[in-house]
Structure 1
Amino acid sequence: MPDLFEIDSVIKTFGVNQVLTDIYLKCETGDILGLLGRNGSGKTTFLRILFGTMPAERNFIRINGTMNNFPYKTKNEFCYLPQHGFLPGHLHVGKVVELYLGKASIETFLRGTILAHLRKNRVSDLSGGELRYLEIKLLLSTDSKFILLDEPFTGISPILVQTIKALILEASKTKGIILTDHDYRNVFDVANRYCLIYDGGLKERMDKTELVRWGYVSGSNI
């Protein structure tokens, strides 16, 4: 039986602006859920509420039916990739892998990847693409049931985008994954479910035609 998390009744305001209004969403292991929305629509805010690190005026999170509004505090439940790098720059790549996955996993993790020759390099010496790849591969390699990826494809080369898509697809066999990206085509390439944050609400089961209808893309872009 797949693991399931649900979040409902989400309300979030900033000052007088209500960004999220009574949102409900569920995700099972095996799902890759694409979360779409314009800049400022609340995608990152929603992911942080899901993770439990941003308070909301109201929200209820259930994991396999059990209430848990702070998933990040529970081992092997959630991992979150923020838009900006989160790994300490002074650590060597091999040490980072050891801390996340254990010393015995270093060779297997690095073998055959763009990081294979960078084991002794500091995180701060990695290129933007190398760092993003390391972060994503680390999170997808953990035992966490659910992975939240905030713009995993931003600022990386097309070849590396394809490599990361393959990692996501493989990881989804045992995990539930929610991801955002400004280029909806990347999302449609990997996701098996889609939803759009629009005017504070969540519209599910989006297809490309509906993205035009709700003003997310123009008809000439699909």
Structure 2
Amino acid sequence: MNAVQVPPVWAVDTESLTVRFGGVVAVDRVNLQVARGELRCLIGPNGAGKSTLFKTLTGQQKPSAGRVRILGQDVGRLERHQIARLGVGVKTQVPSVFDGLTVGASLRVAAGRHRERRPVAAVVDEVLEQLRLGAVRDRQLATLSHGQRQWVELGMVLATDAQLVLLDEPVAGMSEEETARTAELILSIRAGRAVVVVEHDMRFVRRIADRVTVLHRGAVLRDGPVAEVLADPVVRDVYLGREEHVRA
């Protein structure tokens, strides 16, 4: 007897996802599947629909049509906090942290929302070690560098035991050294979870991505292994603005 084939439970699974603002189509029938354990980058020129797609995955924007499943559950009608409870962690481009708190206190707040309710102290110690932030544990966030603040917010996401991590331009404004360290950290957190990164820095994308999805005018232009996609002349033309060469 043949074994029954069980379809995979994707971390992200969109089907003909469409978002309209009046007569403007910001996301155009996007089909996107991201596996658990995968690190996917979403790229595209300005106005390609990356931010709108990101907001739809996090519950900040409702779909106009199509379907969004996160970790196996349809989230089209769920609010942001309900999506977060499924095991979704979001780090925005601008750190949303409290300057008056210390690093340790910030992580303790996040660890209190850990999905498996592990001891808070153990979760904090684990995250501090993983992100190598032990030396700044007792410093207020207001005294940290831009890169350090970004790493603390990433740590707050990890402290919740997120199974899907969504990162919006995580290296914006960082130095080359900070960017390199951020790449190392993101690669280190992927075990057992899916990571989706919206990013403009192509050197950073080459460092971290398994697969790349290129958006153009709200639709998926190309999707595949990072080296293959970034070498595609059509993708290059889109980034250089030579849209007359883009094939339908």
TM-score after normalising by structure 1: 0.86
The AA in structure 1 aligned to 2:198 is: T
Q: Match of 2:117?
A: none
1:81 aligns with 2:91: yes
Matched, 1:173 2:191: yes
2:140 is aligned to: 122
Q: How many residues align?
A: 219
Give the alignment partner of residue 176 of structure 2, picking from 152, 158, 170. Answer: 158
Q: 2 CA distance for matches of 1:136 and 1:63?
A: 20
Superposition pairs for residues 1-222 of structure 1, below 5 Å?
A: 3-4=9-10, 5-69=12-76, 70=78, 72-74=81-83, 75-101=85-111, 102-111=120-129, 115-203=133-221, 204-205=223-224, 206-210=229-233, 212-217=235-240
Cα distance per residue 1:152-185 (max 9 Å; x no partner): 1111122222222122222222111111211112
Give RMSD over aligned pairs: 2.5
List gaps (5 residues or longer) in structure 2. Answer: 1-5, 112-119, 243-248
Supply the distance in 2 between the matched residues of 1:77 and 1:129 (Cα, whole angstroms).
25
Q: Is the 8 A contact 2:123 2:159 kept in 1?
A: no
- Structure 2 residue matching 1:154: 3-state secondary structure: coil
| Mapped partners of 1:120, 1:3: distance in 2 | 40
Distance 1:67 1:164, change over 3 A: same
TM-score, normalised by the number of residues in structure 2: 0.78
Whichever residue aligns with residue 62 of structure 1, its letter is: R
- What amino acid is the match of 2:27? L
Letter in 1 for 2:19: K
Q: 1:128 to 1:194 in 2, by over 3 A?
A: same
Deviation of 1:3 (Å): 4.5
Instruction: Please report how far the alpha carbon of residue 213 of structure 1 lies from its aligned counterpart in structure 2 after TM superposition.
Output: 4.6
